[in-house]
Amino acid sequence: MTSIIHSIESLNIWIGRAFGWCILILTLSVSYEVFVRYVLNSPTVWAFDMMVQMYGALFLMAGPYALAQDAHVRADVIHRLIPVRWQARIDFILYILFFFPGMLALFWFGWEIASDSWRYQEVSWNSPARIQIYFFKTLIPLAGGLLILQGISECMRCILAMKTSRWLPRMEDARETEELLKGQATKFGAE
């Protein structure tokens, strides 16, 4: 079961890292647009659509990554005070009752939206560039599918925690700056 959990997490971490490059593309396109608009007085017709699609792609594909890293927002005031087995039971029930129905709806209706967009060869009506958006809309069911897959991994993690009374360690990827600085302060304080 552990290998399945880590395989799913690895996939979502890899995809999250790949889509993380959207931040660089988004930053460069905004910088370019600001320069040509305010310095050269020659705005582009494509920059707004590109920024919307890069931000949307980043937002959609960050969900599975955040869930794989346990980096999503959680109200765990009481949750962290109860034993691990009860945490796992509560999480498992909440995944079944709330998470999976929501993600199945995202996948199902996202699939309908994306397939209609592909059928019509949908383009953006918000700008004169009229760029294709059916590629972008394909990310909606893809994100839903990856979230469902990660949800299955999380349920497996809950089952293991119910059996062993401890959480399976997460695959580490990015670290918060505060954690890194705290680790350095501890390291230097010990010397």
pLDDT in tens, 27-59: 998 999 999 999 999 988 888 888 888 888 999
Please state the rounded mean pLDDT for residues 155-178: 84
Q: What digits encode the pLDDT tens for the residues 159-168?
A: 999 999 998 8
- How far apart (Å, rounded) are the C-alpha atoms in residues 61 and 20? 9
In our burial notation (b when 16+ CB lie closer than 10 A, e otherwise), range 131-146 reads bebbebbbbbbbbbbb
Give pLDDT, residue 190: 53
Q: What digits encode the pLDDT tens for the residues 122-155?
A: 887 776 777 888 888 999 999 999 999 999 999 9
CA torsion, ordered 170, 176, 182, 186, to nearest 10 deg: 40
Side chain identity at residue 135, one-letter code: F
- Please give the tally of structural domains in the chain: 1
Range of the domain at 64: 2-190
Q: What secondary structure does DSSP assign to the chain, as a single string? A: -HHHHHHHHHHHHHHHHHHHHHHHHHHHHHHHHHHHHHTSS---SSHHHHHHHHHHHHHHHHHHHHHHTT-S----TTGGGS-HHHHHHHHHHHIIIIIHHHHHHHHHHHHHHHHHHHHHT-B-SSSTT--B-HHHHTHHHHHHHHHHHHHHHHHHHHHHHHHHSSPPPPPP----HHHHHHHHHHHHHH-
Looking up tokens 């608009």 gives: 37
Q: Does residue 177 carry a pLDDT above 70?
A: no
Looking up tokens 């925690």 gives: 161
Strand partners, 123: 132
pTM of the model: 0.83
CA-nearest of 175, 174, 171 to 3 is 171
